[in-house]
Amino acid sequence: MRLGIFGGTFDPVHYGHLLLAEQCREQCALDEVRIIPAGLPPHKAGDKITSSNDRVEMLKLAIGGHEHFSIDERELEREGPSYTFETLDELREEDPQRELYLIIGADSLRDFPTWKHPEKILESARLIVVNRGDQPEPDLVPLTEALGPSAAERTQIVNIPGIGLSSTDLRKRVAAGRSIRYMTPRAVECFVEAQGLYR
Which class is 2-163 in CATH?
alpha beta
**SS3 track for 28-60:** CCCCEEEEEECCCCHHHCCCCCCCHHHHHHHHH
Of 92, 98, 88, the residue nearest 32 (C-alpha): 98
pTM for this predicted structure: 0.93
Please give the pLDDT value at position 43.
60
Please give the pLDDT value at position 67.
97
Domains in the chain: boundaries: 2-163
From the number of C-beta atoms within 10 Å of its C-beta (0-12, 13-18, 19+), residue 65 rates as: exposed
Please give the pLDDT value at position 30.
98
Segments of the chain scoring below 50 in pLDDT: none
Please give the pLDDT value at position 21.
98
